[in-house]
């Protein structure tokens, strides 16, 4: 899919976890399509670099540091972003990750809970704070970056699986709530992607170590699907899961 250069001209987006990996790739793609973009993450240096790169594309890049698991910080981040960009049309809930791969009973309960806080509560906090602004823009789009592991059980990564399964259910619930207000809410499943967070378990150019059908992608490989979701019309699909996986989910 090729996105028209001005497909998002005049719109504004927030991308969480936008300092690297999939978030950075999506943030830059939104900017190339004409959107002003706020990138947010905990590491200010990374998001400032991405915002500066966005500025070179002829649109506005804004960096606002925030921890998505902190509700008060998220609310302040969204207000700051909208204050600087003037509106909000697209929210990409990308921040997340898995911090442990240990069976229940052998795991650290605090680490398990932290994964839930980042992946599920972070998505909820950001979506909740963004909703008034998305509605004010006349309808907007929420793209929740999910995982195939939220659709399939695994024996040793329950915190990640459970959190992403909950994000999928939250996506469906919000879509039913918001469809008549012009806000679409969908899930994007990238499949295996090589990033700093996955470098210890996979590499590009070879099959996935546990799923032979899968190809290990670069973050930029996720962009076409993300842009399809970001540029769809107001009456486009909602409550759906769009996947790049090469296995049944």
Point out the residues that are catalytic.
160
SS3 16: strand
Q: Which residues contact 29 (CB under 8 A, 6 or more apart)?
A: 3, 223, 226, 227
Phi, psi of 124 (to 5 degrees): -65, -50
- Rounded Cα–Cα distance for residues 92 and 55 (Å): 19
Tokens standing for residue 47: 């998001």
Residue appearing with tokens 């998305």: 134
Phi, psi of 143 (to 5 degrees): -115, 110
- Rounded Cα–Cα distance for residues 178 and 132 (Å): 11
- Rounded Cα–Cα distance for residues 5 and 230 (Å): 13
């Amino acid at each position: 899919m090729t996105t028209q250069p001005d497909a998002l001209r005049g719109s504004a987006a927030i991308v969480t976890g936008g300092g690297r990996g999939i978030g950075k790739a999506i943030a830059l793609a939104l900017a190339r399509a004409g959107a002003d973009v706020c990138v947010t993450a905990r590491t200010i240096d990374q998001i400032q670099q991405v915002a500066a790169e966005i500025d070179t594309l002829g649109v506005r890049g804004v960096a606002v540091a925030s921890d998505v698991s902190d509700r008060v910080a998220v609310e302040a981040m969204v207000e700051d972003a909208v204050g600087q960009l003037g509106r909000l049309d697209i929210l990409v809930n990308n921040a997340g990750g898995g911090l442990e791969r240990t069976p229940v009973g052998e795991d650290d309960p605090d680490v398990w809970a932290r994964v839930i806080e980042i992946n599920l509560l972070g998505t909820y906090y950001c979506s909740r704070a963004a909703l008034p602004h998305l509605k004010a823009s006349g309808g907007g789009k929420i793209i929740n970056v999910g995982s195939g592991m939220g659709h399939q059980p695994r024996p040793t990564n329950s915190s990640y699986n459970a959190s992403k399964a909950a994000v999928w259910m939250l996506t469906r619930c919000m879509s039913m709530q918001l469809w008549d207000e012009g806000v679409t809410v969908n899930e994007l499943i990238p499949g295996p992607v090589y990033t700093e967070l996955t470098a210890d378990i996979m590499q590009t150019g070879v099959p996935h170590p546990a799923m032979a059908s899968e190809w290990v992608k670069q973050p930029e490989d996720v962009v076409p699907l993300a842009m399809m979701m970001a540029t769809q019309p107001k009456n486009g699909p909602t409550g759906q899961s769009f996947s790049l996986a090469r296995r049944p989910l």
